[in-house]
């Protein structure tokens, strides 16, 4: 992040400073409320001035987010939030820019903008709400809906193979990828903190429940009783352990991840250790996403350092200015290939 970090005590911000006076209008029970609350709880401890935040969104239920943050914001057009946010960041590198989008907005009409924002490594934070449905337009299948899902636009079951958003981010060479659950406050807040502190384009995929059109899509993960046996929360440098009794783990078997039970033949020393800097480990975790034999991975899946587009742009402008001088707009208009039309 480019913005200057200030001592948290000096700023004296609380959640209330990020809560506007207008009414929040999502369906009662929507997972968006949880994501909003955790964002408002996390930003006060980030050491960034309130006026240095900007939230940019596209179209969809999640894209109402800027209205509900008492910061600068822009509710833009369908799929174009990454393009508009890129301009905001390049025009004012000191801003902490957040892009709020959904699985339809971000990976259907906005898919092209999304992958280019990630590959350029612009210092922005992208939070994608993934509820595997179009909620705002009343229940059509989306690019992340599962095969066979019956919706208003797929009454006999979807035959589209679904996107794995975090895998697309990895394919675009994103330097930071995390996955979180809307109901897991601790994990979500940690992902937000790590995302904003990361220098470069960060991508957080949030599994979010749509209570009206796709209720229970992530039921086994959101239910506290069944979550431990179905979710793997990875931590850099630690073995991949999960389960109610913390008695299950992940090993590599025939070049694929495999669940084993600890004790007897298997110990912690046999398990895979998470390395968020290793793309092979990240890809392995993402392979587990749609495999019912394996738990779904959550946490920071990838975090690496790389030059940022905005940083290189500033450096390039400084270097060219040093060589050619500052110049004027008029000089620019009359430079290069010009001609008169008579």
Distance separating alpha carbons of residues 302 and 158, to the nearest angstrom: 31
Residues in contact with 179: Cβ distance below 8 Å, sequence separation at least 6, in sequence order: 166, 191, 204, 205, 206, 207, 297, 298, 299, 301
List the domains of the chain with CATH numbers.
8-222 (3.40.50.970)
Distance separating alpha carbons of residues 341 and 327, to the nearest angstrom: 25
Q: What is the pLDDT of residue 2?
A: 52
Distance separating alpha carbons of residues 143 and 219, to the nearest angstrom: 20
17, 101, 136, 157, 178 from 125: Cα distances, Å: 21, 11, 23, 34, 11
Q: What is the pLDDT of residue 327?
A: 87
Q: What is the pLDDT of residue 333?
A: 84
Q: Report yes or no: 187 and 298 within 8 Å, Cβ to Cβ.
A: yes
Q: What is the pLDDT of residue 227?
A: 98
pLDDT in tens, 18-68: 999 899 999 999 999 999 999 999 999 999 999 999 999 999 999 999 999
Q: Average pLDDT per run of 10 along the chain, which is 342 residues long? A: 71 95 94 98 96 97 97 96 97 96 94 96 98 93 93 94 96 98 97 98 98 96 97 98 97 93 94 97 95 96 98 95 90 82 86
Q: What is the pLDDT of residue 10?
A: 80
- Work out whether strand 256-261 and strand 53-57 pair parallel, antiparallel, or are unpaired: unpaired
Q: What is the pLDDT of residue 264?
A: 85
């Amino acid at each position: 992040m480019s913005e200057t970090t200030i001592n948290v005590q000096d700023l004296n911000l609380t959640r209330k400073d990020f809560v506007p006076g207008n009414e929040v209008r999502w369906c009662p029970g929507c997972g968006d409320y949880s994501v909003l609350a955790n964002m408002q709880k996390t930003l006060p401890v980030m050491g960034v001035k309130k006026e240095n935040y900007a939230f940019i969104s596209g179209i969809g239920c999640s894209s109402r987010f800027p209205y509900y943050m008492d910061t600068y914001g822009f509710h833009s057009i369908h799929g174009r939030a990454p393009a508009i946010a890129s301009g905001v960041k390049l025009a004012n590198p000191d801003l902490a820019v957040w892009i709020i989008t959904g699985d339809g907005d971000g990976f259907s009409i906005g898919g092209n903008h999304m992958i280019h924002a990630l590959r350029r490594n612009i210092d922005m934070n992208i939070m994608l709400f993934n509820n595997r449905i179009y909620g705002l337009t009343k229940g059509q299948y989306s690019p992340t809906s599962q095969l066979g899902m019956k919706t208003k636009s797929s009454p006999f079951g979807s035959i589209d193979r679904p996107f794995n958003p975090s895998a697309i981010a990895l394919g675009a060479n994103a330097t930071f990828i995390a996955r979180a659950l809307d109901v897991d406050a601790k994990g979500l807040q940690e992902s937000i903190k790590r995302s904003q502190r990361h220098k470069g384009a960060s991508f957080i995929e949030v599994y979010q429940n749509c209570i009206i059109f796709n209720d229970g899509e992530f039921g086994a993960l959101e239910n506290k009783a069944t979550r431990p046996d179905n979710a793997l929360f990875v931590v850099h440098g630690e073995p991949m352990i999960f389960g109610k009794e913390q008695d299950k783990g992940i090993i590599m078997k025939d070049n694929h991840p495999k669940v084993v039970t600890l004790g007897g033949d298997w110990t912690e020393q046999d398990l895979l250790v998470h390395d968020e800097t290793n793309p092979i480990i990240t890809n392995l975790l993402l392979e587990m996403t749609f495999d019912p034999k394996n738990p779904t991975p959550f946490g920071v899946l990838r975090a690496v350092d790389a030059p940022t587009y905005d940083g290189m742009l500033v450096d390039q402008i400084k270097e060219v200015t040093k060589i050619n001088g500052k110049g004027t707009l008029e000089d620019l208009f009359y430079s290069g290939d010009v001609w008169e039309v008579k």
